[in-house]
Amino acid sequence: MAATPLLEESAGGHAARIVSELSGSTDSDAGKKLEESLYSRDIPRKLAIYGAAAGFELRDELDYLSNRTIEPNVFFNARFLAPAMPRLEDREVRFMVMRDENEIRSRLRFVMPYTIERPGLPLSMPVIRAWSTPFGPQGTPLIDHDNPQGVVEDLFDILARKHLRMPEVLVLPEMRANGEAAKVIKSVAASRRLPVRAIERKERPFLQSDADADTYIQEAIGAHHRHEYRRLWRRLAEKGELAHRIARTPEEVRRSLEHFLVLEASGWKGARGTAMAVDRFRAAFAREAVNNLAERDCVRIHTLELDGRVIAIMIVFVVGAEAWTWKTAYDESLHAFSPGVLLMIGVVRSHLSDPAIRRTDSCAVPDHPVMTRLFRERETIETLVVGLQPGTDRQVRQASSQIHLYQRTRNLARIMRNRIRNFTERS
């Protein structure tokens, strides 16, 4: 059964923008422009909004768009989103999609899961916020590569319509500042005289190089540390057969994922109650999302094994030429041998040797102790705050301030929690 939208709205395309400019044109000029625009699109375009559960029914459509987008985002892939949205969020998450559709054909052109939020205080201004979580640290909407400018123009036109009563500000978190999606959104906003602010800017480690693996690793960590990690590998190998393996088939991925869940739960995350296996909803999400993606050859699980026992593990997602290092865990009883770093060096070597992988997103915080050393390249990640009407500069500034205050408060709370936990563990 097809998913039923909660709301549908037809796009006016260029015609909608002409109507807003009629006051500056003669009747004949305006009529001619309007007539031309009405015949410029063969298939009508609509925006539709669905509840989170529709992700399962829309999966085939979303799969198709994921392969046509101007900038990939594995976390908005239907096989990740459908199990994630109902299990990772207490807030109401919905799908915003645009499609070109008539009686003969239908094609998805835009997808963005989103929430309506009031960042900061309960009485603060509401915003439309693209969905981004610690389990999916990228808020880039999926935009079809066929005329992406026109798709975003129609999106902004619809969201600004008064009768829809949508918030006046759109927030796009965790965007790659120099990515194709951000460029298109900024360009359309400028052409429509919409205010835009880039906030929460940070530098994220990426891996993208034409250098051979040995040269890259030596330049990344230095000759001294390279020799030290080789020594640790030899010492660990004295305890048994040491091997770096990569799971790729659906069955291999399924087995390796279970090793990850057990290994993560055995360490500090398990002790603090934040391991995925501790929470049945997160565990169910992880199993379904990873196994679904593996069916489309979008998962590589790297393991470091000692006599067949997994001592370090890294889950990597791959879409097209892009990769994301998603989750990692290691046997903390072998901490002195740095098994996690040894595995990560193997991952770097594997990705640089794979001609199909052009770039790898670390998904890591800027000061991550391992990724900042092994991934030498940096990309600016930012949150875009867009006013959906000209003259909404004040609303954009207010929303930006609310988001900054909210993030700062959350960061301070996290620091305090970590200090309390560390003090408790030492006592």
pLDDT, tens only, 248-296: 999 999 999 999 999 999 999 999 999 999 999 999 999 999 999 999 9
- The residues, ordered by sequence, that sit 6+ positions from 421 with a Cβ below 8 Å of its Cβ are 272
Q: Can you give the pLDDT at residue 19?
A: 41
State the chain's mean pLDDT as an integer: 89
Per the structure block, which two tokens stand in for 167?
Answer: 């918030």
With H, G, I as helix, E, B as strand and everything else as coil, classify residue 392: coil
Q: Can you give the pLDDT at residue 407?
A: 66
Domain ranges for the chain = 7-203+380-417, 210-375
Query: Which residue, chain included where needed, has tokens 């410029």?
Result: 40
Q: What percent of the chain has pLDDT over 90?
A: 74
Q: What is the per-residue pLDDT across 50-66, written as a single tens digit (0 to 9) for each?
A: 998 888 888 888 989 99
- Tell me the pLDDT band of 213, cut-offs 50, 70 and 90: very high
Q: Is the pLDDT assigned to residue 178 strictly greater than 80?
A: yes
Q: Can you give the pLDDT at residue 123?
A: 54
Per the structure block, which two tokens stand in for 131?
Answer: 């969905």
Closest by alpha carbon to 175, among 207, 139, 201, 137? 139
Class of domain 210-375: alpha beta
Provide the 10 A C-beta neighbour count for residue 82: 24
For residue 360, is it left (φ>0), alpha (ψ between -120 and 50) or beta? Answer: beta
Q: Is the pLDDT assigned to residue 346 strictly greater than 50?
A: yes
* Phi, psi at 241, each rounded to 5°: -75, 120
Separation of alpha carbons 391 and 394, rounded Å: 8
Q: Is the pLDDT assigned to residue 1 strictly greater than 70?
A: no
Q: Is the pLDDT assigned to residue 101 strictly greater than 90?
A: no
Provide the 10 A C-beta neighbour count for residue 89: 15
Sign of the dihedral defined by the CA atoms of residues 213, 216, 221, 224, in that order: positive
Q: Which helix (H) or strand (E) holds 300?
A: strand 299-306
Separation of alpha carbons 243 and 252, rounded Å: 16
Quote the DSSP letter at residue 147. Answer: S
Q: Can you give the pLDDT at residue 299?
A: 98
Pairing type for strands 106-117 and 45-51 reads unpaired
